[in-house]
């Protein structure tokens, strides 16, 4: 299979030294890419800024912003069999970015933001027998929100996790995830991200090789 994977955060710059981002480390996406390479798949990894080393054998495409990630996904998705969109893409970006560092001259600074494109929805809307897998991080209503996103974004699977104060899902940690398929089948797994990567790829392979049928 030709598998396209996105990973890491995006950065939306306010000025040359400040940006809007999130806590994603990219670890999960890199684990999926490593496992996919190990299985002999042709892997393209599109990654926002991280401190991780890309797996050997994967085609590595570094990007910074959401718009940069969109351009890369637009380029590589048509030639892929599967898209696994684990990147934490910023929902908003500044309307304009200052070319110089913003000085502390005012008591308050107001930023005007504009929505970034929904890369996953746009790609899934163009799929032709490709398997598309998305991720969701929620602070509440995990199952309902996952179900809504799965349908709204035209996904084959969604991997959803809860963010709470007891245990962060970021980095190299064991986490609990809900995996929901387009047929409504819902499963919960508690594992480290290496183990979850195997489960996700098992589902992607079965879905692709059985023409999208959900049999696991």
Q: Per residue of the chain (216 residues), what is the pLDDT tens digit?
A: 999 999 999 999 999 999 999 989 999 999 999 999 999 999 999 999 999 999 999 999 999 999 999 999 999 999 999 999 999 999 999 999 999 999 888 778 899 999 999 999 999 999 999 999 999 998 889 999 999 999 999 999 999 998 764 555 565 578 889 999 999 899 999 999 999 999 999 999 998 766 544 433
Residue 171: the pLDDT is 55
Residue 85 lies in a domain: yes
CATH number, domain with residue 179: 3.40.50.10300
Residue 150: the pLDDT is 96
> In the chain, at which residue ranges do the beta strands (DSSP E only) sit?
2-7, 12-13, 19-20, 42-47, 59-62, 82-85, 92-94, 113-115, 131-138, 157-162, 175-181, 186-191
For the question of residue 145 being annotated catalytic, the response is no
Options 22, 144, 154, 165, the catalytic residue: 22
Cα separation, 26 vs 11, in Å, equals 13
Residue 179 lies in a domain: yes
Residue 38 lies in a domain: yes
Residue 164: the pLDDT is 65
The CA angle 67-73-74, to the nearest 5 degrees, is 90
Residue 213: the pLDDT is 42
Contact 39, 6 (CB under 8 A): no
Nearest 5°: phi and psi at 112? -100, 125
Residue 215 lies in a domain: no
Chain centre to alpha carbon of residue 198: 16
- Report the number of distinct structural domains present in the chain: 1
Residue 216 lies in a domain: no
The parent domain of residue 91 ranges over: 2-100+110-209
SS3 192: coil
Residue 21 lies in a domain: yes
The length of the chain is 216
């Amino acid at each position: 299979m030709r598998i396209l994977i996105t990973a890491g955060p995006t950065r939306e710059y306010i000025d040359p030294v400040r940006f809007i981002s999130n806590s994603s480390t990219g670890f999960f996406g890199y684990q999926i890419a490593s496992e996919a390479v190990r299985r002999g798949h042709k892997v393209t990894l599109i990654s926002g800024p991280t401190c991780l080393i890309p797996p050997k054998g994967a085609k590595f495409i570094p990007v910074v912003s959401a718009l940069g990630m969109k351009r890369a996904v637009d380029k590589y998705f048509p030639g892929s069999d599967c898209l696994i969109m684990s990147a934490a893409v910023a929902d908003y970006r500044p309307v304009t970015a200052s070319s110089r560092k913003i000085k502390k001259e005012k008591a308050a600074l107001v930023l005007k933001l504009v929505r970034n494109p929904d890369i996953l929805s746009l790609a899934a809307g163009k799929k032709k027998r490709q398997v598309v897998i998305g991720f969701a991080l929620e602070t509440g209503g995990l199952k309902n929100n996952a179900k809504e996103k799965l349908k709204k974004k035209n996904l084959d699977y969604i991997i959803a996790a809860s963010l709470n104060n007891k245990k962060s899902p970021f980095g190299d940690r064991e986490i609990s995830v809900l995996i929901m398929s387009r047929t409504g089948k819902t499963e919960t797994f508690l594992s480290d991200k290496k183990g979850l990567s195997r489960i996700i790829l098992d589902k992607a392979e079965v879905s692709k090789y059985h023409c999208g049928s959900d049999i696991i």
